[in-house]
Amino acid sequence: MILEGDTLIPADRHAVWTALNDPEVLRDCIPGCQSLERQSDTDFTSSVRAAIGPVSATFGARITLSEIEPDRGYTISGEGKGGAAGFARGKARVDLADEPGGTRLRYTADVNVGGKLAQVGSRLIQGTAKKLSEEFFGRLGERLGATPGAAPSAPAAPVAAGTAGLSGRRLLWAGAIVILLAVIAWAIGR
Amino acid sequence: MKAIEDFTLVGKTILRREDGYLMRGKAQFLDDLPEPKGLIHLAFVLSPYARADILSIDAGAAKALPGVIDVLTGKDFVDDIKLFAPVIEIGGYRPVRRPVVAVDRVNFVGEYVAVILAESPYVAQDALDLVEVSYDPLPSVAGIDEAAAPGAPVLHDHLGDNLIFKTAFETEGFADRFAEGDVVVEEEFRLGRVTGVMIEPRGCMACPDPIATNMTLWTPTQIPHIVRTAIADHLDIAESALRVVTPAVGGGFGTKAHVYPDELIVVALARRLGRAVKWVQDRREELLTNAHAREHVLKIRVAAKNDGEIRAVHLDVRTNCGAYPNHPYSPTLEATAAVRMMPGPYRIRNYKYDVSSVTTNTAPTGAYRGTGQPSAFLAIEGMMDRVGRRLGLDPADVRRRNTIRPEEFPYVNVVGVRYDTGSYLPSLERGLEMIGYDAFRAAQPEDRLVGGKYRGIGICNYTEVSGTGAPGWRVRGFAKMPGFDSSRVVVEPDGKVTVYVSQADAGQGHYTTFAQLAADRLGVDWADVMVVEGDTSKTPYGTGTFASRGSVVGGGTVIRCSEKVGVKVRRIAGYMLNADPERLVMKEGRVFDPASPDRGLTLREVAETAYSMNNLGLPQGEEHGLEATDYYDPPMVTMANGTHVVQVAVDPEDGKVEIERYVVVHDCGRVINPKIVEGQVHGATVQGIGEALMEEIVYDAEGQHLNANLLDYLLPTAMDVPDLELSHIETPSIDTVGGIKGAAEGGLTGAVPALANAVGDALAGLGVNITRVPLRPSYVFEQIRRARAAQEGRT
């Protein structure tokens, strides 16, 4: 199943980048995110709780990063297991681009789902993914909007956050797959 | 046996006695039965993977949940349930056996991995989420083409590849006869995977007898005796110690004519724990684990003369077995049905078939209404149209040219099936006349576009196999399928009648139909006849109710058995009346000599003598009681026939197929109860509309089931079903008791090809070639879009 989407984040590319590198920001913005831990330079684990309708599950996710192009794009692959609810496996390509008014984030994910998730949720994942992504980017936008100098009207303003180290950068990719997994987990209960 | 000509009640519509309680919600289905004390409720942990090794199962948290009695895995059953497999003896079949709960390896999504035993069904469901299973996913394969390809993951190591069944047949000199055709037309047809979706999903409850070691299994099955034998075989239980009872059954459709692992599991657990054990399936489990059907690929080559005569046919059928062979049929059921039924109503004398089945990481496939026949007729009826188009002949004329004529009966077809009687040509002609075929064709423009929609007409002229007897099952390798059914007819001391039949009603109206037959033969009011079915402790052994057996075999044995009792009634009455028993008749509850009708006896008076309830003795050598038992093994098969003619409009804007006219001509031989036959035809046709236009179980390439719910597995609703214009032709069988032929499946068999052909006809002007079902709007729209784009590209 292919999931695609894009959003305009009202901040310049570097601000987006930096904010996304902050684990605290990610945990706040990803619906249901309970933890986000780095296991090695390229491997992460996270835990996302989704409780919708009659089904609630905690998705344990493992994430691996590859094809990293700093500030421009990356590929993330991961697998999330939700016990009786099923599982999701996927790969996503994420690209950032400058645009008037902020930064355009585009993602294309190829996700395979299995178990109950596939049996009762296949049809709903696209729509739910869109909705949850909007929720995530909305929260992120709010946060960035509150950051001095990160408003769309002042894209060239200095970035408030600290330096974006390698591990921080990777957290961005981790965050993105977790969003996808959360989105998928969300669809289980539908 | 000769057709019986003196029926009085047979052929009359009697309203079904079961409808009163069914329509008022009074029927007791499995989940309505009173629950025994100490009942254990089961829930199954299902595999989310199509193929994986089970690394570990942690049931600690589930077991800690209050109300959970235990959590068992596959290893817990290996000692008391043998590996599960049908008994199939046919060349080219390679046996595969399976544990009833997976051990170490899962092979399809939905396979049982663990069993929760709990004090309530709610706790059992909650516990499902707490069982942590660790899997190591393995490469998997779902489709027929992929499973047969070199290098495909092999499901069962001992087979070496995925080919579980393969056989072939060829008439003498086939290649030469094929070469005699002026044209060769070739096509590949595909049918989606479907299943019989019932109002009542499955379930079962095993109750140990508190006094004896006996066990009762309540299960809504179509085959109670076969279930008993299978469980006895696999669990080492004496058949005499196991009673299988069917409560009210909310639809069977062949899907409930299998033995399922859960039936073995509840009995094994009830025996082990000494407590009653119950399991009820939910809708998702139904769509995941019940026997699926179809998913066939049919490649057909037809050699025809210029006048439309079919010289020879080569049919290659490939089917998807699923992960394991179903019990009791294995994948050979639909495979052999498709190739053996294809000749249908046509004079096809030169025939070659190849047929095979592959194992894949999908749910096991098995029986479903129509079994193999919708596929066979999609192929041969599709070819009738194509031969017509190729030769510039009307497709109706191609059929006329090849249809077996009334004077040719009895006719033995190319695979040795006897057609004793039939109305193949009259049925076709009547169907064409009813729909106004000639006028439609005359008015139909070249591009088929009328009022903004593409309009076409489709025909399916079919035979319908029914009432298969022992030889019919043996020839297809079903070694443990008895073929016969049986009955016991008892005239009780008060002269009322009880009929015990080896079958099991799933909504077909047996309680009415069989009462009608017995009342007819015994000359009593049908309301005085009670019918008992679906209880192995009350009825003699039999095969069950599936494959259109009810009327032919069940009806046949009730007729024979009633007549046997009638002989004894007349013998005793003759003694009482001092009259010749041969001269006596039974009518309106009385026994008398037509020469002196006033000097007769009531059936009750005769029964009182038989049961020693008066001062009269019995004649010398006569035993007390007034009953008989009968076992009836019908002919190899009995062929009914019919014709569907359908007019459709296809909307190019959205690809939706609208049925504008639907004509059914149906010949099931002697009609017992016309209203019930109409119900069968309507029901089967609606399921055929579903299979042709919307129903399909979808697996992705890895074997993930993508629509195990009824929002995504589409069933026809009242909005999708047109008014059927139905006409009966009655051509009694000369081979079966009472002249009866089956009636349950032709509706489906006729609908799938007729609808595909109608859509094919509607879109023929565009150059669209319809070769598959279901014809969902998205698919049809895409074909129209492409064809229009290609046309524009040319102009």
DSSP state letters, B157-212? GGGSSSEEEEEEEE-TTHHHHHHT-SEEEEEEEEEEEE----SS--EEEEEE-SSS
Chain B residue closest to A85 (CA)? B129
CA distance B468 to chain A (A): 37
Which residues of chain A are within 8 Å of residue B113 when distances are taken between CB atoms?
none
In the beta sheet, which residues pair with residue A91? A77, A110
| A83–B129 C-beta distance less than 8 A | yes
Q: What is the DSSP letter of B365?
A: B
Chain B residue closest to A118 (CA)? B706
The residue among B101, B106, B105, B104 whose CA lies nearest residue B116 is B101
pLDDT per position as a tens digit, B311-327: 999 999 999 999 999 99
Chain A residue closest to B712 (CA)? A123
Q: Give the burial class of B328: count Cβ atoms within 10 A of its Cβ; 0-12 exposed, 13-18 middle, 19 or more buried.
A: buried
Question: pLDDT band at residue A189, thresholds of 50, 70 and 90?
Answer: very low
Question: Across chain B, what does the average pLDDT equal?
Answer: 96
**Are A23 and A160 a contacting pair, CB within 8 Å?**
no
Q: How far apart are CA A184 and CA A188, in angstroms?
A: 7
pLDDT per position as a tens digit, A23-68: 678 778 887 788 888 787 778 788 887 654 455 677 888 888 788 7
| A114–B704 C-beta distance less than 8 A | yes
Chain B residue closest to A82 (CA)? B129
Chain A residue closest to B45 (CA)? A84
| B704–A120 C-beta distance less than 8 A | no
CA distance A7 to chain B (A): 29
Question: pLDDT band at residue A75, thresholds of 50, 70 and 90?
Answer: confident
Q: What is the DSSP letter of B596?
A: S
Alpha carbon separation from A26 to A109, B204, B369, B523, B745 (Å, rounded): 19, 49, 54, 84, 59
Q: What is the DSSP letter of B471?
A: H
Q: Which two tokens stand for residue B743?
A: 């009636």
Instruction: Inform me whether the pLDDT recorded for A97 exceeds 60.
Output: yes
pLDDT per position as a tens digit, B84-103: 999 999 999 999 999 999 99
| A119–B707 C-beta distance less than 8 A | yes
For residue B499, what are the contacts with CB-CB under 8 A and spacing of at least 6? B487, B488, B489, B490, B514, B515, B518, B529, B530, B531, B532, B558, B561, B562
Q: Which of A120, A123, A126, A190 to mutate to test the interface with B (most CBs of B within 10 A)?
A: A120
| B700–A112 C-beta distance less than 8 A | yes
Write down the pTM of the prediction. 0.92
Q: Is B125 on the interface with A (CB under 8 A)?
A: no
Q: How many CB pairs under 8 A join A and B?
A: 50
Q: How far apart are CA B472 and CA B562, in angstroms?
A: 26
The count of C-alpha atoms lying within 13 angstroms of the C-alpha of B309, restricted to the half-sphere facing its C-beta, is: 11
Which residues of chain B are within 8 Å of residue A125 when distances are taken between CB atoms?
none
**Are B435 and B661 a contacting pair, CB within 8 Å?**
yes
| A57–B712 C-beta distance less than 8 A | no
Instruction: Inform me whether the pLDDT recorded for A172 exceeds 60.
Output: no
The residue among B308, B307, B295, B302 whose CA lies nearest residue B142 is B295
CA distance B345 to chain A (A): 41
**Are B180 and B7 a contacting pair, CB within 8 Å?**
no
Instruction: Inform me whether the pLDDT recorded for B230 exceeds 80.
Output: yes
Q: Which of A122, A123, A124 to mutate to test the interface with B (most CBs of B within 10 A)?
A: A122
Per-residue pLDDT, A177: 54
Q: Is B258 on the interface with A (CB under 8 A)?
A: no
pLDDT per position as a tens digit, B161-201: 999 999 999 999 999 999 999 999 999 999 999 999 999 99
| A113–B705 C-beta distance less than 8 A | no
The count of C-alpha atoms lying within 13 angstroms of the C-alpha of B291, restricted to the half-sphere facing its C-beta, is: 30
The residue among B727, B728, B736 whose CA lies nearest residue B556 is B736
Looking at the partner chain, which of B128, B702, B709 has a beta carbon nearest the beta carbon of A112?
B702
Q: How far apart are CA B229 and CA A168, in angstroms?
A: 66
Compute the C-alpha angle A52/A57/A63, nearest 5°.
115
Which residues of chain B are within 8 Å of residue A118 when distances are taken between CB atoms?
109, 700, 704-706
Compute the C-alpha angle B556/B559/B565, nearest 5°.
140
Q: How far apart are CA A137 and CA B686, in angstroms?
A: 48
- CA B621 from chain centre, in angstroms, equals 46
Q: Given strand B105-106, what is the order of strands in its sheet?
A: B105-106, B52-58, B132-137
Q: How far apart are CA B373 and CA B351, in angstroms?
A: 17
| A116–B712 C-beta distance less than 8 A | no
Mean pLDDT of B628-650: 98
pLDDT per position as a tens digit, B557-591: 999 999 999 999 999 999 999 999 999 999 999 99
| A122–B707 C-beta distance less than 8 A | yes
Q: Given strand B163-170, what is the order of strands in its sheet?
A: B163-170, B351-359, B310-322, B293-304, B183-194, B772-773
Q: What is the DSSP letter of B554?
A: I
pLDDT per position as a tens digit, B428-451: 999 999 999 999 999 999 999 999
